[in-house]
Amino acid sequence: MTNPLTAPRGAPIIAVSNLVKQFGRFTALRGVNAEFDAGKFYVILGDNGAGKTTLLRALAGLTDPTRGEISILGKKPHEASRDLGYMAHPSLLYDEMSGMENLLYFDKLYDIAGNSRCEQAIQAVGLDAELSRPVGKYSQGMRQRMSLARAILHDPKILFLDEPFSNVDLHSAREMVGLLKGMRDAEKTILVVTHQAALLEGTADEFVWMQAGQIVDRTNHLARGHLAPGDAPAGEP
């Protein structure tokens, strides 16, 4: 593998080999093999139980594989944490603080200089940095956008997003897609798990289809013979 840190766009920076994850008797991932290239936008699709969230969590270092290897930028996920951003359906934010306060705190965890990054991140997701309302009182769309701001705060090279658009109003969702497109154009690698893949048709570089703990197909367009159950038709929030 070429040196991942200076790899040009298109070289693999995430490599997964024979990844198995079992929770007791239940197998979530059955030997996943995949490579993901730098600077590309991937969408991971599949039914409930296909293993999408487990795969993303394993890549982010939140779950230890039962067997198999994960290499991100040539390192293990825990070692590459500086360059990873993660967002999930729970907001990963403190409900009692305002958006800016939340970001100022998470800023400290990444040991980077400050305030201006936080403001930029909030503005990038289309929210008001001055807003003093606590995050708990945000609408779902605002909360997801603030969660995204937290994920991109430290300017990570790789973004993992798990269901970023669920229960989000169409306007917010489209704004987020636009933002993600901009990030991909700026050479970030993005992996999104979603049931609303139609939102990403035209933006995503590749669609990765999962079923029963394995990757079964990879396509350039959102078509695989039929829409998998659970995929929302275009436009439905």
**Footprint on this chain of another protein (rule: CB under 8 A):** 20, 22-28, 30-31, 46, 48-54, 60-64, 81-82, 84, 86, 88, 90-97, 105-106, 108-111, 150, 162, 193, 211-214, 216
Output 2 or 112, the one with its CB closest to another protein.
112
Shortest approach of another protein to residue 96 CB, angstroms? 5
Shortest approach of another protein to residue 157 CB, angstroms? 13
Angle subtended at Cα 210 by Cα 207 and Cα 213, rounded to the nearest 5 degrees:
155
Shortest approach of another protein to residue 23 CB, angstroms? 6
- Gap between the Cα atoms of 40 and 172, Å rounded: 22
- Gap between the Cα atoms of 77 and 62, Å rounded: 9
- Gap between the Cα atoms of 38 and 148, Å rounded: 20
Paired tokens of 190: 């993005």
- Gap between the Cα atoms of 108 and 143, Å rounded: 21
Shortest approach of another protein to residue 60 CB, angstroms? 5
Look-up of token digits 């289809």 = 209
Output 7 or 20, the one with its CB closest to another protein.
20
Output 12 or 49, the one with its CB closest to another protein.
49
